[in-house]
Amino acid sequence: MKDKAIQYVCSQCGRTETKWLGRCPDCGSWNTFEEEAVQSASVGKRAVISTATKPISLGEVVVDPLFRYETGISELDRVLGGGVMRGSSILLGGEPGIGKSTLMIQVLEKCSVGRKVLYVSGEESPSQVKLRAQRLGLTLSCIDIFCDTRVEILEKILSSAHYDVVVIDSLQTLSSEEIPSPAGSVNQIRYCSTLLVGMCKQLGTSLFLIGHVTKEGTLAGPKVIEHLVDTVLYFEQVSSGVRLVRAMKNRFGSVDEIGIFSMNEKGLTPVANPSSFFITDRSGSALPPGISYTPVIEGSRTFLVEIQALTTSAKNGFSRIYSDRIDTARVTRVAAILERHASVRLSDQDIYVNVAGGMKLNEVSIELPLALALWSAVSNKSLPKAMVSFGELSLAGEVRSVGFPDKREKASKELGFNRSLLPRSSTRSLLIQHACTTMREALEICSSLQ
């Protein structure tokens, strides 16, 4: 009997090779090639989306005014760009136990008003899903459940009974008889996802796919899945009981919005007032050394966050930087600017940087408050308690302006701050402004406000 043809597929990017490689030439990942049986040439030739027998002009395309509808969960609607699009496919990834299944069953219950919804479970039995829904206090009769992982069976169900919203929990459990590979393999995930996404687009069904993440925190499976779906959401935990939903890709909205949820016995609930959620409530007249406040903009909202820094003498003469909420390369660059242009010695210090509440910061406006927190930590001098700062630092030690200064100051004023340290003063200000052009000048201003 002739052996089946074998190929090796990278689980991160989908590259195929005839032999096993330790490192993928495309994405550079190590030890990601998995053995797969070569599928027949007839598999996968079905059209993903089919419209008509001949091309038509865009002017002839009819758009349903109810093409987008709200899920009933405000924070999720914000991340999605206002709601769910009919026929769209949404991939939700996150760590095990973070609340992906809980959020999705809550979405189905909210969307069930006037719509047919289906929950497909490949990991739990119907009784387990029912017990969770009862614990959350959901209406059980409005949600249909189906427990099967064979994509051919799902195809028949979706074709015969038109559902408006379908949740697949999870993508890694799906399998097809036409693919000679186990469930969760690259070929299975790619084929099943292509089939379901194409079918739901034709039927106008909104499809939610729950995906697992790897130990590196990325979605398991080839990158082609992220290109195939319309929206990619990441579910992350920032502190005890608090979850963030962030869009990494969104064809129907912005990727700058984030959704903030709190976890309790009734499931995930949106945080009512998240603007001050990441600020520590302190009593007293002075801040501890190493603390600075800054307003950051995420989409249409402004958050006040607290940057924390700690410096200690380096052991064995080799300094190290510990920072998981702000990019380590940015901390290194800011520390070098301080040492070169403001005579703040940090090369013999171990540097620890954190953000209160666990929020990850990527905006360039955090560079000035990060520098102030490092200076405060190493000099053991506290910054003014009611002062916020924002600005970008150049390698020449200059403090550069950033966008939306009025919006940042307005949010700071509402939370009780009365001073701001910023690159350039505006004509109208709600706060007492202290303008600076260089990093050294910014430190002189902070010293004078002691």
> Region 140-150: what's the mean pLDDT?
93
Residue 87, domain member (yes or no): yes
pLDDT of residue 177: 87
pLDDT of residue 132: 93
Structure confidence by residue, pLDDT tens digits, 291-334: 999 999 988 889 999 999 999 998 877 889 999 899 999 999 99
From the list 417, 438, 192, the residue with the least C-alpha distance to 305 is 417
pLDDT of residue 217: 61
Structure confidence by residue, pLDDT tens digits, 12-40: 777 888 889 999 888 888 888 888 777 65
Share of the chain above pLDDT 70, in %: 92
Residue 295 sits in the same domain as residue 419: yes
Rounded to whole angstroms, the Cα distance separating 143 from 113 reads: 10
Domain ranges, residue 121: 68-272
98 has binding-site annotation:
yes
Structure confidence by residue, pLDDT tens digits, 238-297: 776 788 898 999 998 888 888 989 888 888 998 877 777 778 777 766 789 999 999 999
pLDDT of residue 127: 94
Neighbours of 433 (CB within 10 A): 15
97 has binding-site annotation:
yes
Residue 86 sits in the same domain as residue 114: yes
DSSP annotation of 60: G
Residue 383 CB burial class (10 angstroms; 0-12, 13-18, ≥19): buried
CATH of residue 179: 3.40.50.300
Residue 32 sits in the same domain as residue 131: no
Structure confidence by residue, pLDDT tens digits, 388-399: 999 999 999 999
CATH of residue 318: 3.30.230.10
96 has binding-site annotation:
yes
DSSP annotation of 342: S
Q: Which two tokens stand for residue 432?
A: 């007492």
Residue 53, domain member (yes or no): no
177 has binding-site annotation:
no
pLDDT of residue 214: 67
Cα 93 → chain centroid? 9
Residue 251, domain member (yes or no): yes
Torsion of CA 145, 151, 156, 162, to 10 degrees: 50
Residue 63 CB burial class (10 angstroms; 0-12, 13-18, ≥19): exposed
Residue 128 has pLDDT above 50, yes or no: yes
**Domains in the chain: how many in total?**
3
Torsion of CA 404, 405, 410, 415, to 10 degrees: 110
Residue 344, domain member (yes or no): yes
Residue 331, domain member (yes or no): yes
Residue 207 sits in the same domain as residue 303: no
More confident residue, 105 or 56: 105
Residue 45 has pLDDT above 60, yes or no: no
From the list 287, 383, 373, 299, the residue with the least C-alpha distance to 330 is 373
pLDDT of residue 221: 65
pLDDT of residue 79: 93
Q: Which of 272, 307, 335 is the last residue of a domain?
A: 272
pLDDT of residue 385: 87
> Region 210-235: what's the mean pLDDT?
79
381 has binding-site annotation:
no
Residue 284, domain member (yes or no): no
Using DSSP's 3-state secondary structure scheme, residue 186 falls into helix
Rounded to whole angstroms, the Cα distance separating 338 from 397 reads: 8
> Region 109-132: what's the mean pLDDT?
93
Average per-residue pLDDT in the chain? 87
Residue 137 sits in the same domain as residue 255: yes
From the list 90, 85, 89, the residue with the least C-alpha distance to 63 is 85
The answer for residues whose C-beta is within 8 angstroms of residue 172's C-beta and 6 or more apart is 183, 184, 189, 211, 212, 220, 221
Residue 233 sits in the same domain as residue 321: no
Residue 43, domain member (yes or no): no
Rounded to whole angstroms, the Cα distance separating 250 from 136 reads: 29
Residue 279, domain member (yes or no): no
Residue 429 sits in the same domain as residue 332: yes
The answer for residues whose C-beta is within 8 angstroms of residue 382's C-beta and 6 or more apart is 286, 287, 288, 289, 291, 376, 450
Q: Where are the alpha helices (DSSP H) in 43-125?
A: 74-80, 100-111
pLDDT of residue 44: 47
pLDDT of residue 426: 56
Ramachandran class of 197: left when φ > 0, alpha when ψ lies in -120 to 50, beta otherwise? alpha
In which band, very low, low, confident or very high, does the pLDDT at 2 lie, cut at 50, 70 and 90?
very low
Rounded to whole angstroms, the Cα distance separating 149 from 188 reads: 11
Residue 92 sits in the same domain as residue 136: yes
Residue 11 sits in the same domain as residue 81: no
Structure confidence by residue, pLDDT tens digits, 47-86: 555 556 678 888 887 777 778 999 999 999 999 999 999 9
94 has binding-site annotation:
yes
Strands 117-121 and 165-169: parallel
DSSP labels, 247-259: EEEETTS-SS-EE
101 has binding-site annotation:
yes
Residue 365 sits in the same domain as residue 251: no
pLDDT of residue 222: 63
Strands 392-393 and 399-400: antiparallel
Rounded to whole angstroms, the Cα distance separating 219 from 210 reads: 10
Rounded to whole angstroms, the Cα distance separating 287 from 304 reads: 16
Residue 307 sits in the same domain as residue 384: yes
Neighbours of 93 (CB within 10 A): 26
First to last CA, the chain: 84
Which helix H or strand E contains 292, and what residues bound it? strand 291-298
How many residues are there in the chain? 450
Residue 184 has pLDDT above 90, yes or no: no
Neighbours of 266 (CB within 10 A): 12
Residue 299 sits in the same domain as residue 153: no
100 has binding-site annotation:
yes
- Residue keyed to tokens 């559902």: 163
